[in-house]
Amino acid sequence: MLSARRLPPCDCGLYFRVPKRADYPGLGVAPTVVARRVQFSAMDFQIFLHVDGLTDVGRRRLNNEDAWWAGRLGGAHFFMESGAAPLHLTGGGTPVLLLVSDGVGGANAGEVASQMAVNLISDELRRGTGAMQDLPAVCRAIDAALYTANAAIAAKAIEPGFGGMGATLSLLCFVGGGAACWGQVGDSRIYLCREGKLRQISRDHSLVGRMRQQGEITEAEARLHPLRNQIDQSLGDPTNTFQPEVGVEEVRPGDVCLVCSDGLSDGLWDREIEQILAAVDRPAAVRPAVRRLVAGANQASGRDNITAVIALVEAPASAGAAPAGGRLRA
């Protein structure tokens, strides 16, 4: 398990820490932990979220191998369906979780893997909510859940008919106190849009993703790269050492967070995602934005399954008024 030590206070930027291998007996290499250098207050869970999601099979696939889950841990949730209306969630003493998984392996195998991923991880985190008393504890819980899902999917993948099965996984867990913890395996993505500016929180686990993140290639070049579809991390993959990333991100009222599969990020340019999320300035704008994202990616590409889950952050006391640093409207 991760050492339960506080994140060091600092003013800006990122830091990276690889936990000691001894912290993970029997698991080989420990994951990288990534966190915003921000001094967080105690977790008081005083946060209000407007959440909606949508998935689509796309225009060329027969099966939808994407899966998603959203809701308050220990409370109401929905899975693979939009529901009659977006969720309006307060922390209520327990974190709020968003999950998106993209199956690897084709046909039924990929669909099984993604559903296993969201079910196992959401169940693991729901069972562990009592121990989530601070940010290190939440990071430990997310990390442990990722390892549990990886082991279960790897075991399933050796059964007849499931060879090569795996799944990517991106999750965002809002824990109050101005913080959200995230976990990442593969090339599904987590974005944050603040005051109209988009930033990718997660890092793609692929050669092409690392080249783009390091400024070696542009977004346009990444889309045309011959290795763009190859990833080096997925749940259940026996060919690579499992090294998920877990991190902490500051969140503020007015922020719009997006968790999505690569079918969306491959279909839409970052500037298009930014334009859609920048227009989400009130709860009533959440569902139209989800639909615009999925429809836009489908129209532009549609080669893959497409999934988007959006959360608009609001402070309960700011309902009906524009909060500091935000643009919310009633």
Q: By mean pLDDT, which of 109-113, 139-143, 322-326 is the weakest?
A: 322-326
pLDDT over 70 (residue 32)? no
**pLDDT exceeds cutoff 70 at 206:** yes
Mean pLDDT of 300-325: 73
pLDDT of residue 213: 80
> In 3D, which of 187, 114, 184, 98 has the Cα closest to residue 146?
184
DSSP 199-243: EE-S--SSHHHHHHHTTSS-HHHHHH-TTTT--S--BT-SSS---
282-302 pLDDT per residue, tens:
999 999 999 999 999 999 988
CA–centroid distance for 291 within its chain:
18
Please say if the pLDDT value at position 40 is more than 60. no
Q: Which residues, listed in sequence order, are joined to residue 199 by a DSSP beta bridge?
A: 192
The pLDDT assigned to 219 comes to 78
Cα gap 167→272, rounded to integer Å? 26
- Predicted confidence (pLDDT) at residue 16 exceeds the cutoff of 90: no
- Say if residues 224 and 215 touch (Cβ distance below 8 Å): no
Q: Which of 122-136, 266-280, 305-319 has the highest mean pLDDT?
A: 266-280
Predicted pLDDT at 308: 97
Q: In this predicted model, what pLDDT tens digit does every residue of 79-107 receive, in sequence order?
A: 667 778 888 887 656 889 999 999 987 65
* AA letter at 79: F
Q: What pLDDT does residue 155 have?
A: 95
Q: How confident is the model at residue 323 (pLDDT cuts 50, 70, 90)?
A: very low
Of 23-37, 124-138, 289-303, least confident by mean pLDDT is: 23-37
Delineate the domains of the chain, giving CATH numbers in brackets. 14-318 (3.60.40.10)
CA–CA distance, 280 with 100 (Å, rounded to integer): 20
Question: Where do the DSSP E strands lie in 18-150?
Answer: 32-36, 48-56, 66-72, 77-79, 87-90, 96-104
Q: At what angle do helices 107-127 and 135-156 cross, to 10 degrees?
A: 150
- Please tell me the pTM assigned to this model: 0.83
Span 221-271, pLDDT tens digits: 888 778 777 788 999 998 889 999 999 999 999 999 999 999 999 999 999
